[in-house]
Structure 1
Amino acid sequence: MDDWVDPGETLETASFERLYRGALELASSVERTRAATLVLLTGRLGLTLEEALHCNEGWVDWERAELQVPEKDPCACAGCWELARRRREHTDPIREVLYEECWSPSPDRAPRTVPFGWSRRISAALLATADRYLLDLLPGDARELLRAAGEAADGIEPDDLTPGLLAATTVDFLSDLGLEADGTAAVLGVGEARVEPYAAAGESDVTTRMARLAGVDGSADPESAFPVACGTEAFESEPFDVGAADADALAERATATDAPERVPRPTDLPASVDYDPADHAAAGGPNRRTDAGSWAEGPSAADGNENALRADGASAVTGADRGRAGLPDDPSTASGSQATAPDVTCARDVVTQPVVADFSTRAAADGLCGGREIPGRVILGQEELFVLWSEEKGAEDADAPHLLVPLEDVWDVRIDDVPGRLSASFPHAVTVGHRPSGRDELAVSIQLPPAQRRDMASALYRILLNVTPMTVVDPAREGGRVTDADPEEMVLYVRPHGVAFTDEAGDAARLAFDLSDVVDVERIERSFDGESRPAVQLRRVTDNRPVTTVVTAADDRLRRLVWRYVRREYHQTLATVRGIRLSDAEKMVMVALYSTDGTPDLGSLLDLTEQELSAALQSLAAKELVRSAEAATDLTGTGQLAVSDRLESVNH
């Protein structure tokens, strides 16, 4: 057992940053990569030195952003190879030792699952080292790397950099995050009594807490509090791209390594040894991989069956949609019925047809198995969301626990916001909030990879909002001028990344715009026919001029859903904008366009050569920040948002 240092003797945040920077001072890129990864795995994820050295891509679930330390693992890493070489008998070839021996955690550590997706830097380190077979070091070499990092760090005694110091530093870090003793113990695979002297009162759900402290909900500023673990700015000489290690990068890696070898990184062996780790039988341990399935047979949230809006604004919608809008029934639409006691052996028949999505994943829900995470099947119909316990799609048990959520009870759809009360280990999910029979809001969280999260949320919003009667004022403002436009009754249609409004009969298009052209969204109170009502105000760009549109619905639920949908798209655009790098010339062009109505003679306004101006315009057009038509250039909605969001920086 590693001798942990006492509370108060661990590496504080500033000291840990100096240690990490010390790792980046090493001479070669390979040494920096290995040392930095070793510091992160042992000092922030709590892996033992032995675990960090044995960690291989077979332990990594990129889709769930988790490391899964197994109970046993066949291994041919540098350390195990050396051990096999020493253990072999004259009559026992090395290859047989390698096949028969399995690595296990030390007796004081348990098999466990450790989330890492909350940290861009740890994700980047794992992505960078996966192609290099992770660390592949002997224990002595690893200790020398840590010592070298300590020698390069100010104020750190290299001899003090023991595994016990790094383990206790991890516990102290998790305590600073507010994780309770049971959650901290689960991360390190130890008993609660081991961590209680370090732990603080807080939350026991490590995934939720870490995701929250990493800034997912905007309630914290983790970069200043924990710059190494939670920061995204690159350090000098850092050997991996922290900014690029987002959820999409992990999903891409998951796709590229859909079925990783159990031991993907054998060390270089003598030519006389024909050891192949792929021939190893899989060892036991929590090495589960989520089968997110595919979008369903029939209409799919991912396949382009988007209930596409026709040119006249009418849409192919369900009978439920039409009834809600007061439109005549469409006899061609098949409608199922909601079963009061659904026969889950015919799961697809439980929901109103046609089925939109049908897939296997993991889920957690209020009112289902005590909120615990379960393997399940999720079916989205036209009027219901159905979740049931199912180890394998198509093999349902009639007595399987299940939950049927009428979509008319749904008040909210969120991405990557799993309530802490649910015992879910996955940080990436679509969460559906619903209020059955006027009760408090309940939640269903469904694990999905990035692309399918967006598809699922979009599918839900289309079903929930398509053909919704709305009261619309457009334009409520033109530039800074308030208009005298009267409220009009219209019908809302949701299309991919945009909205359209028709007349009340659904026959004639009245208004349509892309949500990427929205540069601000807020909730307001406004008078409609002498009555003050909550509404959603959208400031958007059309023909390079700002226009304000105000919309409201008859009840709080629909207003909230409209607000959530538009705000989600707005924040996606905002996140894209904040990731765009601009040259000084591009900033000058954008300020000029923002301040004028678009002109073909930008050269007379800017201190740029013709070549510099042309290059800046071409680059901005490629970034979809400007568009040109009939010799005039103007900002796109995304460009307007970029300037308004970063005006101080741009003007500077």
Structure 2
Amino acid sequence: MSESAIADFVSSFIPDTATHVEPVRGRVVMSKRRIVLATDDEKTTVPLDGVFDVQHETAPGDLARFFEDTVTIAYERGGDRHVAVVEGGGDTVDRFVTLVFKALLHGTAVYVKHPARRGGRVTDQPFEGGKLGLAPGELVVKGGADASVDLSTVSHFERVDRDVDGSSRQLLSVRHMGATGPITTELALNSGRKMNLLGRYIRLQYTHLKQELKDVDLTDEEIEALVAIYSSGPDASLAAVLGVDASRITMLLNDLIEKELVTDDDGIKLTSLGRAAVSEHIEDVNI
């Protein structure tokens, strides 16, 4: 590859499901323009501008005997559609998936209405143009419009039709947590391919955190504490907010830290998993 590599690792992969029935071992090399799957005998090039779907999930039935998790990349090249499958486990592959989505979506022109709703109330905020960016755990829009979506707090998203600049457009409606409660942000991209990829990226983050939350048991008191931290900020007195003594707060925080829902680095703060738990439960809590 003549351009600089932004990812380079060794893994098992199926370079093309139409021509390979079993995985091979080789290098996965990615630049800002392409992904190359290379073995000693051959190499397969995946042009990023032809990628129309990326999935990171448990291996489907036919591939389960080869892989536990997979990254499936569907793309067009020379007018034909192809599918490549890369072994999907480990931090290296997690970073690779993030880099793929960033290369596909970062800098894309976007129209955003932020917020389109506050709770259940429709706002009069107009659609504004900007550039889409992917930050760790976050969608950001910069330019004419400034907006952000904390992906750990997404509770629902769907495709809807809206009027944008006098014409009907399909867009993504994303419900998430804002600074003072649930809000909805609506996003429209000019490319249908990139709209699909953005929806896939949001679903990937959403599903991953929901799966992690299933393994976390929370008491009602712990949920109230998480919502209080979110609502009141790191400097608030949780004992006063929750109406319990300081020793009980210490026990609660220790339990939440052990469950990786909060951190105590320079003040009590929610982790991404903690913010996801708040998003899941905030409407059930009245504090």
1:429, distance to aligned residue in structure 2 (A): 2.5
Q: Residue 563 in 1 paired to residue 199 in 2?
A: yes
Query: What amino acid maps onto 2:9 in structure 1?
Result: F
Q: 1:370 aligns with which of 15, 20, 29?
A: 20
More strand by share: 2
Q: Secondary structure at the match of 2:104?
A: helix
Partner of 1:443: 83
Q: TM-score, normalised by structure 2?
A: 0.80
Q: Secondary structure at the match of 1:458?
A: helix
1:383, distance to aligned residue in structure 2 (A): 1.0
Partner of 1:340: none
CA contact (8 A) 1:544 1:634 kept: no
Partner of 2:184: 548
Instruction: Return the alpha-carbon distance in structure 1 between the equivalents of residues 154 and 56 of structure 2.
Output: 20
Q: 2:66 aligns with which of 425, 428, 438?
A: 425
1:488, distance to aligned residue in structure 2 (A): 0.9
Instruction: Return the alpha-carbon distance in structure 1 between the equivalents of residues 260 and 10 of structure 2.
Output: 37
Aligned length: 282
Q: 2:139 aligns with which of 490, 499, 504?
A: 499
1:639, distance to aligned residue in structure 2 (A): 4.2
1:373, distance to aligned residue in structure 2 (A): 1.9
Query: What amino acid maps onto 2:35 in structure 1?
Result: L
Matched ranges for 1:183-332 at <5 A: none
Partner of 1:274: none
Q: 1:478 to 1:458 in 2, by over 3 A?
A: same
Instruction: Return the alpha-carbon distance in structure 2 between the equivalents of residues 551 and 648 of structure 1.
Output: 24
Unaligned runs of 5+ in 2: none
Partner of 2:96: 456
Q: Which deviates further from its counterpart, 371-380 or 418-427?
A: 418-427
Query: What amino acid maps onto 2:94 in structure 1?
Result: R
Q: Residue 357 in 1 paired to residue 7 in 2?
A: yes
Q: Residue 380 in 1 paired to residue 16 in 2?
A: no
Partner of 1:470: 110
CA contact (8 A) 2:262 2:269 kept: yes
Instruction: Return the alpha-carbon distance in structure 1 between the equivalents of residues 255 and 147 of structure 2.
Output: 31
CA contact (8 A) 1:429 1:453 kept: no
CA contact (8 A) 2:17 2:85 kept: no
Instruction: Return the alpha-carbon distance in structure 1 between the equivalents of residues 9 and 270 of structure 2.
Output: 41
Higher relative CO (Cα under 8 Å, sequence separation at least 6) belongs to: 2
Q: Which deviates further from its counterpart, 553-562 or 363-372?
A: 363-372
Q: 1:490 aligns with which of 130, 133, 150?
A: 130
Q: TM-score, normalised by structure 1?
A: 0.38
Q: Secondary structure at the match of 2:146?
A: strand
Q: Secondary structure at the match of 1:435?
A: strand
Q: 1:416 aligns with which of 57, 62, 84?
A: 57
Matched ranges for 1:22-41 at <5 A: none
Q: 1:472 to 1:640 in 2, by over 3 A?
A: same
Identical amino acids, percent of aligned pairs: 28
Larger Rg: 1
CA contact (8 A) 1:517 1:636 kept: no
Instruction: Return the alpha-carbon distance in structure 1 between the equivalents of residues 20 and 60 of structure 2.
Output: 14
Unaligned runs of 5+ in 1: 1-347, 391-399
Alpha-carbon displacement from aligned partner over 1:409-455 (angstroms, at most 9, x marks no partner): 1111112354556697122232211133554x531111253212201
Q: Secondary structure at the match of 1:416?
A: strand
Alpha-carbon displacement from aligned partner over 1:36-62 (angstroms, at most 9, x marks no partner): xxxxxxxxxxxxxxxxxxxxxxxxxxx
Instruction: Return the alpha-carbon distance in structure 2 between the equivalents of residues 384 and 609 of structure 1.
Output: 58
Alpha-carbon displacement from aligned partner over 1:95-120 (angstroms, at most 9, x marks no partner): xxxxxxxxxxxxxxxxxxxxxxxxxx
Instruction: Return the alpha-carbon distance in structure 2 between the equivalents of residues 615 and 582 of structure 1.
Output: 14
Query: What amino acid maps onto 2:126 in structure 1?
Result: D
Partner of 2:147: 511
Instruction: Return the alpha-carbon distance in structure 1 between the equivalents of residues 282 and 232 of structure 2.
Output: 18
Q: 1:358 to 1:609 in 2, by over 3 A?
A: closer
Matched ranges for 1:78-97 at <5 A: none
Instruction: Return the alpha-carbon distance in structure 1 between the equivalents of residues 241 and 222 of structure 2.
Output: 14
